[in-house]
Structure 1
């Protein structure tokens, strides 16, 4: 489990680097777009499209980090009412349900990438399979981090419910 966690530490560092780069690129592209639109009264389709695709990519990468840190959307008030062992059990169950959903999403996102290869984006002129790749990549990352969350919760449950 330690080797798997170290592997995910490296993956998370790569994700964070990609997030930093993509946020910077998106910021520059959006500033460029605003200046063109409001100063020169001329807008480009590619800049808006690129910003949109970068944002979707960022959401998929950040979701994997959010799952690993257990900071996704949940009703904390109800969860904190539970005793630590029941809280761990509810986390395992909800994460398992999430993994099942992610497996379905992975299958359908791969089909989407395949069909997107035949279409070109309007502004950038790239095959739509390129922007659609964020779905299977993000889904695989979320599944990998979910597996780690499940194993850590089970390990802590076996130790008697002592949370780290």
Structure 2
């Protein structure tokens, strides 16, 4: 079961990386356009700065899901590394489950934010703000999906360690 789930997340991560590659290229292009317009022609427009900002926010949320899956978030693991592998797995499971609970609350409130912002229109792009705020629930769902994989892999690792202990005795 975990192999099929991991394969699904591998494909999803590929889509996320393609999305990030495209949006980073767009963001850099828009920012270069904005700089040239502002400093070479002493003119500016509002949509380019707004677009670059919102693309960046989407990219952060998508990349956070990839970082969650790879356990690459900033963390203080000095104390955890002092423990045996089984205890490390238990701490990781506990922390990840706590994170999933937090993400569940964040998802609920981010949906409310999207609904509230639906009537607001962005100043430069003239698009509903709910489109931009949708990065929160999208990113949260992706982080929950990857967090579930982290929990399942750590449970499997604990089971493997238990089998080693039994067969080693």
Q: Is the TM value for this pair above 0.5?
A: yes
Corresponding position of 1:32: 33
Which of structure 1's runs of 4+ aligned residues deviate more than 4 A? none
Number of residue pairs the alignment of both structures matches: 162
Q: Quick check: 74-83 or 104-113, which moved more?
A: 74-83
Higher share in helix:
2
Taking the aligned partners of 1:22 and 1:78, their CA distance within structure 2 comes to: 38
User: Per-residue deviation at 1:76?
Assistant: 2.5
TM-score by length of structure 1 reads 0.96
Cα offsets for 1:74-126 (capped at 9, x unmatched): 10222222211111111111101100000000000111111111000011110
User: Equivalences for 1:1-164 in 2 at 5 Å?
Assistant: 1-160=2-161
TM-score by length of structure 2 reads 0.93
Q: 3-state SS of the aligned residue for 2:71?
A: coil
Taking the aligned partners of 1:7 and 1:130, their CA distance within structure 2 comes to: 26
Taking the aligned partners of 1:13 and 1:75, their CA distance within structure 2 comes to: 28
Taking the aligned partners of 1:122 and 1:23, their CA distance within structure 2 comes to: 22
Structure 2: state its 5+ residue gaps: 165-169
Larger Rg: 2
Taking the aligned partners of 2:133 and 2:24, their CA distance within structure 1 comes to: 18
Structure 1: state its 5+ residue gaps: none
